[in-house]
Structure 1
């Protein structure tokens, strides 16, 4: 007899598969498995939902004994009936250890998935934390929309499942989950949001805050998808051989114009352009008074600068 936690997990995975991956049993998927309760429960639930699972375990090499942790996770997946493979990565690059580890992890998963979708163990609690972090940083509607349930090839079947449910299901299935010490380290902002900010908000507002934040993300995701599609159409109309036609952009609502500009900035090489940078580039379109260019990125050899020439917004590389 399955418990309620087990049934909800299996139902969440099965419903996700029907919506996004097709019908029938034996659909092949990869599961990103860390050995923690969320991804371990996802692996077990995916198998019980009738999927054919290949577990991909990424060893970041950031902690002593990480290789042994990865091998134990892979062994647990095999005991459940999944195929499993350990992927060893080197974590380096910009953005601090969290960002560098994430970049290395997703690159390894993408390379190893061999065309299959990859299921990730993010839960409702992760979604709530993401929304709250985006709100605190003023990152705009797309950030507040949180993580998408399906953004091929990445799938998140457990966005409606609480973290407590995955732990309960692991216990009931007799699975021994690994607790990552990084998840309790207050030096990480997300850990403090999880352990301090969200519980305080939940207490002050009388409960239900994680669920409310997750509902907000779901609603905003639908809105943001529509706006992004319209912004992509606007960007296509504004393109010229040299850059973007300011007149085409200026006539559009600001919500679409800034989305189009942000997408273009990423396309030309700006890394995660801030709202301040986007606003300054937008001023070249909507509030043109002959102002100078806007530095949006670059490398050791040259700066990437967006400026306006007559009626066209252009991107230039200026040697340092």
Structure 2
């Protein structure tokens, strides 16, 4: 399909072309297609700029008629020149709310069919601005307002520099009618209210340019965060490699001032790696928290909240006998708890009560 050279089409194509050049060149890709303007515009541009495109429509089955919407999107994708298109139905749970559950099901479905290919997603500059603003409102630290990245294997986002109005304009220029998801105007969803009420108000009050400014902030924070991550990784290596001195009898020497006598209180998993409290306590708090977050991710801790991280940091920097901090992860029978014991920070599995 030959694309017209309108301003909207050229903007979307440029975004895809630059992403392809920056991330390995042309090759087969999967595009996550909802049938909306953003993903349809991405499909059309990717067919021209990326190579062989397979469109995958995830049917969440949360709305009546979703199957028909998915089949129509498949037809549109094939009409735009995709080498293949398919519908993947999923079951959406309720863990974490409908939005989070649908997102998890969607990504799992795309992962299941990508067959080693990168998956391109239609997130735009406007989506990025909404994400940054939501992260700022949650107050969960710099990492939460760094926004989405253009490449986090296998997920690619070529349109983070493209406005939503441009993807809509491209569909108009191509004579394609995108699907308007009713959820996108449902004010019960926080992101919808941010999109339709909060950001327009900020644009009006502050004189425009708010979305671009939020995106620039995210880019600056990602650059700063990359440097901090390097130093945090070095701190983590040092804290992991630190060991107390061995006594002649083979036991490990202990520092009473660093000793948490609470113990693990659960399963015998003392072979799990621990971190030296002494090393962590001498580090700047920003680096310490980053190092602990990375360590916990390696230990299988998921969904770490800022409140958890602050409580864990208290075990290092302000310990006065408090117990461990329960975190997400573990199994059906055991939960994971971060404890302070024998001058170290440890993750222990404790029976669920």
Question: Smaller-chain TM-score range?
Answer: over 0.9
Cα pair 1:60 1:88 within 8 Å, conserved: yes
| 8 Å Cα contact 2:312-2:338 kept in structure 1 | yes
Aligned twin of 2:39? 39
Give 1:257 shift.
0.8
Q: Provide the C-alpha distance between the structure 2 equivalents of 1:149 and 1:95, rounded to a whole number of angstroms.
A: 25
Q: Distance in 2 between matches of 1:184 and 1:54?
A: 29
Q: Give 1:228 shift.
A: 2.3
- Cross-structure match for 1:7: 10
The structure number with the bigger radius of gyration is 2
CA distance in 2, matches of 1:209, 1:87: 37
After TM superposition, the structure 1 stretch with the greater mean CA deviation from structure 2, 279-288 or 2-11, is 279-288
Q: Is the 8 A contact 2:28 2:50 kept in 1?
A: no
Counterpart of 1:259 in structure 2 is 290
Contact 1:141 1:220 in 2 (8 A): yes
> CA separation in 2, counterparts of 1:109 and 1:230?
34
Distance 1:307 1:135 in 2: 30
Kept in 1: contact 2:55–2:77 (CA 8 A): yes
Residue pair 2:29, 2:50 contacting (<8 A) in 1 also = no
- Higher alpha-carbon deviation: 124-133 or 310-319: 310-319
Aligned residues: 317
Q: Give deviations 1:15-43, integer Å, cap 9, x for gaps.
A: 11000122xxx521111000000000000
The structure richer in helix per residue is 1
1:236 aligns with 2:237: yes
Unaligned 5+ residue runs, structure 1?
A: none
Q: After TM superposition, give the deviation of residue 227 of structure 1 in Å.
A: 1.9
Q: Which moved more, 1:256-265 or 1:66-75?
A: 256-265
Give, in whole Å, the separation in 2 of the partners of 1:233 and 1:105.
Answer: 35
Moved more, 26-35 or 230-239: 230-239
Map Cα deviations across residues 243-281 of structure 1 (whole Å, 9 max, x no partner): 111122222221111011122233334332221211111
CA deviation after TM superposition for structure 1 residue 318, in Å: 2.3
Relative to structure 1, is the Cα distance of residues 168 and 66 closer, same or farther in structure 2, using a 3 angstrom cutoff? same
Q: CA deviation at 1:50?
A: 4.6
Correspondence list, 1:62-77, <5 A:
62-77=62-77
Deviation at 1:185, TM superposition (A): 0.4
Cα deviation, 1:206-251, whole Å, max 9, x if unaligned, reads 0110111111111111222222233233223322654111122222
Deviates more, 1:235-244 or 1:170-179: 235-244
| Structure 2 SS opposite 1:196 | helix
Query: What is the CA deviation profile of residues 79-130 of structure 1, one whole-angstrom value per residue up to 9, with x for unaligned ones?
Result: 1110211111111151011111100100110111100111100000000000
After superposition, give the CA deviation of every residue in 1:116-161 in whole Å (9 maximum; x if it has no partner).
1111000000000000000000021111110001111111110111
Distance in 1 separating the partners of 2:339 and 2:303: 19
Contact 2:32 2:121 in 1 (8 A): yes
Q: Secondary structure at the match of 1:34?
A: coil
Cα distance in 2 between the residues matched to 1:95 and 1:56: 25
Q: Which runs of 5+ in 2 are unaligned?
A: 242-270
Distance 2:225 2:86 in 1: 36
- The within-5 A match list for 1:50-65 is 50-65=50-65
Task: Determine the structure 2 residue equivalent to 1:314.
Answer: 346
1:281 aligns with 2:312: yes
Kept in 2, the 8 Å contact 1:266–1:272? The answer is: no
Which of 293, 305, 315 pairs up with 2:337?
305
CA RMSD of aligned residues (A): 1.6
Aligned counterpart, 1:84: 85
Segment drifting more, 199-208 vs 85-94: 85-94
Give TM-score scaled by structure 1 length.
0.94
CA distance in 2, matches of 1:192, 1:288: 41
Comparing 303-312 with 211-220, which one deviates more in the overlay? 303-312
Which of 68-77 and 269-278 deviates more?
269-278
